[in-house]
Chains A and B, each alone.
Chain A
Amino acid sequence: MVKRSMQWGIAAAAVSVALTGCAGGASGSTANADGVKIDYGVKDKELTIGVVSDLSGPFSAQGQSMVAGNQIYFNERNTGDKICGYTVKLDVQDHGYDVQKAQTAFNGMEPKVLAVTQLLGSPQIGALAPAMTNSETTTILSGWSSAGLASADQPNNAYYAVVGTTLPVAVIDGLSYLAQQGAIKDGNPIGHIHLTGDMGDNALKGSKAYAKKHNLKLTDIEVTGQEVDLTSQLAKLKRAGVKAVLVTAPPKTTGQLAAAMQAARMDLPILASAPAYSPTLVDASSPTKDFIERHLLATTPLVPFGDDTETSAKVAKEFDEGKKSGLIAGSAVANQEVNYGYAMSVVLGDALDAACKAGDLTRAGLHKALGTLDHVTTGVTVDLDYTDRSRTPSTKAYIVKPDGSAVGGGKLVTEVSSDEATTFQD
């Protein structure tokens, strides 16, 4: 019985081979009407860019806001100064934080897109790196871990771009700001609460480096995010007599940290890495709102949403309009993640413009063009330099102070640039 089916199967295969023949066909590049070389993602007057994000899983809120930012930017370009004369279409796919789904989504979109303007999720970033490199797809990452930088250890990251200062460098800038303000002095003990995994480990590198240089006694505590509360962790920090607490973990942990510090009457500065701060922490209903407004500072490459700087205000306005016109999902939240999505697309947009100018809008050409950009000004982030993909695109960070009355939950205090940040080696 098995043999009979095998015979059928082989016959079918042979027939299909015979019918369709051995058509070859490498996909080479061709040139468009303006003589610009093109390969993937271009069809008539349309240029397709992909988005692989989390829209239904644990990071769905961030993902949706980032997608809104992507949509705002490309809508701006489509209705104004078109990219290389093309109308950009976004192919948005949701992976729900599932690695398998992310791979399926990318495999499906790969032949149809020129580049990816957002890839969210560190497991997904790790899992898709070989595929991105193999297909030469320039991909803008969400996330500031140095694990996204290209290096000898991570050759598959060559086509990834990080939008902003990497976590360790931002931590260093933040610490130097605290030192500048006199909150910490050389020789002081400090604490760093960090999430298990890549994000936490990465930021810890920064605090360790700075601590070494300034003789700070660093107590680092790892959390899983599944803690009921942080009282025992805080007791350890209290025993060490820390003068400041760093936190690189989801905003929920930051909230628990503030609550625990309030309980223990520890009126110390809290320095939060960018992923650790969210405007929900200073929501009116939050019991720790006042404590956070008084003590917390975020060190981040992002400008708060709706800040009165030019681009942020513009993005906020377009966000509102986008919601009314149905461009943006009704459930998208207005916070700094929108600015983040916008910035990701500015970087890609600038690279596309440079590639167009150089006459080569193929995947390889785009990759090369991105590498020529040494000064990308998104208006909602620090300035970015992509000439060396193994280094952080910026060594500067913004210090943001939480403010419940601000639209984006925070106010920009200043931009920090420290020597320790510039000399930091991963």
Chain B
Amino acid sequence: MLETLLQGLSSSSIYAVLALGFVVIYKGTKVVNLAHGSVMLLGVYVISLLAPRLGFWPGAVIGILVGAAGAVVIQFMTNAVRSKDHLVMTIMTIGINVMIAAELTHEIGDATVFTGDPWGNRSLSIGGSSFPVSRLMALIVGSVLIGVIFAIFRFTQFGVKLRASAVDAETSSLLGISQRSVSIWSWVIGGGLATVGGIFLAAFPANGLDSGSATLAMSAIPAIIIGGMDSAGGAVLGGLIVGCGEAVARRLIPELAPVLGDSFASVVPFILMLAVLLVRPSGLFGSKVVQRV
């Protein structure tokens, strides 16, 4: 059982980092970035090209910046919508995703993309089970990022502006808060987080990313929904629930209900998501959309 929980924790770390990226963008702009997976793949692809020559860390920094830049480009495009309707902007990210994904598939072909990360295939031994160092790093980095983001929201001017805009965009802009800068910075952070998530996704014990990996970012969606789309803490909790739920299901289902098959475990996060939504339509910690009719 310890082993299963460790595995759950291990994959949770990835889901949490990816979910954070979605949440920051949503909190700042109320748009669900359905091109997140492609931004992630783009950033990791850049790292795979640069790291062999420049080393992992310089390569990673540039990759993260590229991811952030890509995200900003997407922000510009969504911002050009006259009606500023969030649904429309979300749908636009679908169109953008089609373009980026097609181009990346063409570039990457059937190759596998590696970042050359420094954690390699080292693992720690915890109570007889092994826990990959890269996942430990993901947990640490994820926690640090949450702390940083939390501090930004709470204590910096930008954070205050972001929260004010999230609550009431019109009034905030009347008060002189630039919606523009809030949006752009949300996307910058979101894009950078996508690449960071991608680095960990590609690392051991996975084996790199390939052109189909962009859809793996979709696996983080149950995490953000369960947690609540505008809650950073919710993203982490959602990641934990999804990761551990999947690991437990994978362990128990073949024994309890073999007729469901092994692939049922991959569907469990989505079932959990629907279950949570039925009870809490805005997720566990999402701000409630009040509609008393």
Given contacts A61-B109, A62-B110, A232-B250, contact A256 B3 (CB under 8 A): no
Q: Interface code A360-390, partner B: CB below 8 Å = 1, 0 otherwise?
A: 0000000000000000000000000000000
Contact B109 A60 (CB under 8 A): yes
Query: Is B247 an interface position by the 8 A CB rule?
Result: yes
Q: Interface code A212-248, partner B: CB below 8 Å = 1, 0 otherwise?
A: 0000000001111111111111011000000000000
Contact A232 B7 (CB under 8 A): yes
- How large, as a class, is the contact surface on chain B? 35 or more
B188 CB to closest chain A CB (Å) equals 26
Query: Is B281 an interface position by the 8 A CB rule?
Result: no
Contact B112 A283 (CB under 8 A): yes
Q: Interface code A231-270, partner B: CB below 8 Å = 1, 0 otherwise?
A: 1110110000000000000011001101110111000000
Nearest CB in chain A to that of B254: its residue: A236
A232 touches which of B204, B211, B219, B251 (Cβ 8 Å)? B251
Query: Is B90 an interface position by the 8 A CB rule?
Result: no
A288 touches which of B130, B201, B207, B210 (Cβ 8 Å)? B207
B247 touches which of A60, A232, A260 (Cβ 8 Å)? A232
A291 CB to closest chain B CB (Å) equals 9
Query: Is B123 an interface position by the 8 A CB rule?
Result: yes
Query: Is A286 an interface position by the 8 A CB rule?
Result: yes
Query: Is A80 an interface position by the 8 A CB rule?
Result: no
B211 touches which of A58, A226, A287 (Cβ 8 Å)? A58
The residue in B48, B106, B109 that gathers the most chain A C-beta atoms within 10 A of its C-beta is B109
B109 touches which of A196, A221, A225, A331 (Cβ 8 Å)? A331
A286 touches which of B105, B112, B120, B132 (Cβ 8 Å)? B112
Given contacts A61-B110, A196-B263, A263-B204, contact A252 B210 (CB under 8 A): yes
Contact B208 A286 (CB under 8 A): yes
Given contacts A226-B219, A232-B247, contact A252 B112 (CB under 8 A): yes
Query: Can you report 27 residue pairs joining A to B where beta carbons are below 8 Å apart?
Result: A58-B105, A58-B212, A59-B110, A60-B110, A61-B110, A222-B261, A223-B263, A226-B219, A229-B11, A229-B207, A231-B132, A235-B3, A251-B110, A251-B112, A252-B208, A252-B210, A255-B207, A255-B208, A256-B206, A259-B206, A262-B121, A263-B132, A278-B110, A285-B52, A285-B114, A286-B112, A287-B207
Interface residues of A, Cβ cutoff 8 Å to B:
56, 58-62, 196, 221-233, 235-236, 251-252, 255-256, 258-260, 262-264, 278, 280, 283, 285-288, 331, 333
